[in-house]
Chain A
């Protein structure tokens, strides 16, 4: 919790906001993560690929896509998070967030596992997979190839 303020203060009433986020259009993606698969979309009309996946193509205004699975990529950049935000304090390890460029051309963000931050480097090849964390939230996972 925050430090006690230096000057007189009073507490506000608590507001709890948890959203029911619609996933009907991207269900293939969220279901895929449970099976260790990471999907992007590709517009059937103009060929533009999207990650995170989306059904609507701002490039040609069509809404007809094919789902493509992403398998591997090369690290564009990464960081290790020591100060974790609210909602992630229960993760014991200091997770590594990375961005990889896939062979399909799109970039993907994920957690880099089984790798020391001092050994990780830009350009390194990673396998793209996914899993459900013990707290029930999904995560895209990168593993060194």
Chain B
């Protein structure tokens, strides 16, 4: 009798353990599934100030231009926004605490603000913060505001601020500049992969061509290959026309939950399918390699996986071309071509409209301008216009309506990759 009882008990225990393990397994499956943990988030309004030397306006005034356009585009007012996030590098401003100033100027009192900083990727950090606040169910609507004023200070002071990518290990002794940082990558890429100065110049020619078709771009003129190649050296091998200008500008993005999209009856929401993020060392001396940005590879792998797409599915892309070499590395890091084949992709014209993967049809940072904090939001502005077929003379023909933004902070110290779908 006792023996029989023991057998039954063991049998019961086995059933108990089996069913518990099934429950845990189901729970784990649920908790790792995006549908359960993340709400869908859409872009319902975008705005972009004119980029350029904006000596006619202060930073809250240019931020207002972008915010007003974004609110009107969304068909809502400030009272419909629950959270404001301000992305700015901000280290060339006369204000040290810019977010409350913008928040007050634009009528967002008590809606935040959260101020985020990720150098040249501050705009994407703002979008990411707003996105996660909605996706988590914390708020239903949010605005991401990217802004930068760079032209109010002496250009050599601005160069010294930018060159402080890592002060103690680099700038203090060696007088680094942002051009110098990317020039180090250009020289290594040329040495390892045979990339030429002419291939770099072709990026500038393409992006100036599209900027001339974008009324909001800093530069409004096309340039020839010869002009680029003959321009003065800034940091060998990069010349003046390999570099983005020093610009002022702002961009704003209004984000909303799926419920809000339905409630407001938004006709053409653009969905954020995924935002991937990556980072790398502050000291360039601690990098594994000088021909690629590891943070961009990590961020794009993450974004592709979450969005369940691959580079072959992307129909239009905005990539971080602060210098021409940066666009070539972006092609490779994002998987638009193989490692070391970026130069060849330019030669073949595959990144022009009509090519395999049109890149920076808005003129890119290179010619539209790169007001640091504004750039990430401006990429989302442009992709939203593209996905709505509202990009006019620079419209990329789309079939599946899948777009990608790649926004790098410094020399890959930060990277955000965002995938959008209509």
| A contact residues vs B (CB 8 Å cutoff) | 1-2, 5-7, 9, 12, 21, 51-52, 76-89, 91, 95, 97, 99, 106-111, 117, 121-122, 137-140
Contacts and interface: CB of A to CB of B under 8 A. Distances in A.
Nearest to B94: A12
B185 A109 contact: no
B169 A52 contact: yes
- The dominant DSSP class at the B interface is helix
A97 B176 contact: yes
Given A21-B168, A99-B290, A122-B188, A110 B180 contact: no
Contact of A1 (B154, B162, B183, B185): B154
A82 B242 CA distance: 14
Given A21-B168, A52-B285, A80-B236, A95 B174 contact: yes
Given A77-B188, A78-B187, A122-B192, A88 B235 contact: no
Interface in B291-327: none
Give the 5 A-B residue pairs with the shortest CB-CB distance, closest first.
A88-B175, A5-B55, A79-B183, A85-B160, A77-B188
A109 B382 CA distance: 38
A85 B161 CA distance: 8
Given A77-B188, A84-B175, A109-B173, 19 more contacts: A2-B154, A52-B285, A76-B188, A77-B185, A77-B191, A78-B184, A79-B187, A79-B238, A80-B236, A84-B159, A85-B177, A86-B156, A97-B176, A108-B285, A109-B169, A109-B174, A122-B187, A137-B173, A140-B174
Interface string B33-60: 0000000000000000000010110000
Nearest to B181: A79
Nearest to B164: A85
B157 interface: yes
Contact of A9 (B55, B169, B170): B55
Interface string B120-161: 000000000000000000000000000000011111110110
Interface string B192-208: 10000000000000000
Contacts of B186: 79
Nearest to A51: B285
Contacts of B266: none
Given A6-B53, A9-B55, A107 B188 contact: no
Contacts of A80: 233, 235-236
B154 A82 contact: no
A121 B174 contact: no
B79 to A, nearest CB: 33
Given A78-B184, A95-B175, A52 B283 contact: yes
Contacts of A78: 184, 187
B400 interface: no
B56 A6 contact: yes
B168 A52 contact: yes
B36 to A, nearest CB: 34
Contacts of A106: 285
15 contacts: A6-B53, A77-B188, A79-B184, A79-B186, A81-B177, A81-B180, A82-B233, A82-B236, A83-B159, A84-B159, A85-B163, A99-B290, A107-B285, A111-B174, A122-B188
A121 B286 CA distance: 20
Contact of B180 (A2, A79, A122, A137): A79
B179 A121 contact: no
Q: Size class of B's contact patch?
A: 35 or more
Contacts of B180: 79, 81, 97
B284 interface: yes
Given A52-B285, A80-B236, A83-B234, A140 B173 contact: yes
A2 B285 CA distance: 32
Contacts of A121: 191
B160 A137 contact: no
Contacts of A107: 285-287
Nearest to B155: A2
A85 B153 CA distance: 13
Given A5-B55, A109-B284, A117-B236, A85 B185 contact: no
B232 interface: yes
Contacts of B191: 77, 121-122
A91 B237 CA distance: 20
A117 B237 CA distance: 10
B251 to A, nearest CB: 22
Interface string B276-287: 000000011111
Contact of B174 (A1, A83, A122, A139): A139
B292 to A, nearest CB: 12
Contacts of A77: 184-185, 187-188, 191, 290
Nearest to A5: B55
A92 B16 CA distance: 80
A82 B239 CA distance: 10
Q: Which residue among B170, B174, B185, B287 has the maximum number of chain A CB atoms within 10 Å of its CB? A: B174
A117 to B, nearest CB: 6
B160 A81 contact: no
B159 A97 contact: no
Contacts of B156: 84-86, 89
